[in-house]
Amino acid sequence: MTTLTPKQIQELEGQLKTRQTQLLAEIRNELAQSGDQHYIDLSGRVTDLGDESVADMLADLEAAHLDRQINDLRDIETALARIKAGEFGQCAECGDEVAFNRLQAYPTATRCIFCQEKHEKEYAGEGQHSL
């Protein structure tokens, strides 16, 4: 059970909804500007194989950026669902509270800092850290 106050939850929910709105706008904008036509424009300007590989790389980077935005949006939707279910702020691993200051910095966090560090050591390796 989380000890977050209703005011804290409301603050975090506001942050999540604001970011959700921003991401949706960014995704819509990128989809409207990109798509196949953008790749055709890039590849239509190439004059040699080196330029073609640069065009391919740019298209891949745009796709990776869009994929990251979509994953962030999914995380936000999951966090909003946890708020609705009364499970927000509870560590998915141990059930303890996720600290409010951690949630302020990273509102989609699903683990307390202890479990997150443990997870990173087990799965991401010593030199790699994530939120």
Q: How many helices (H) and strands (E) does the chain have?
A: 5, 0
User: What count of Cα atoms within 13 Å lies in the side-chain half-sphere of residue 125?
Assistant: 2
Residue 9's alpha-carbon distances to 15, 76, 81, 90, 91, in angstroms, are 10, 14, 13, 12, 15
Domains in the chain with CATH codes: 6-124 (1.20.120.910)
What is the pTM assigned to this prediction?
0.73
In 3D space, the residue among 39, 67, 34, 35 whose CA is nearest the CA of residue 52 turns out to be: 39
**Residues 6 or more apart from 46 whose CB is under 8 A from it?**
52, 54, 55
Give the model's pLDDT for residue 70. 92
Q: In this predicted model, what pLDDT tens digit does every residue of 24-79 receive, in sequence order?
A: 999 888 887 765 555 545 545 555 565 556 555 556 667 788 899 999 999 999 99
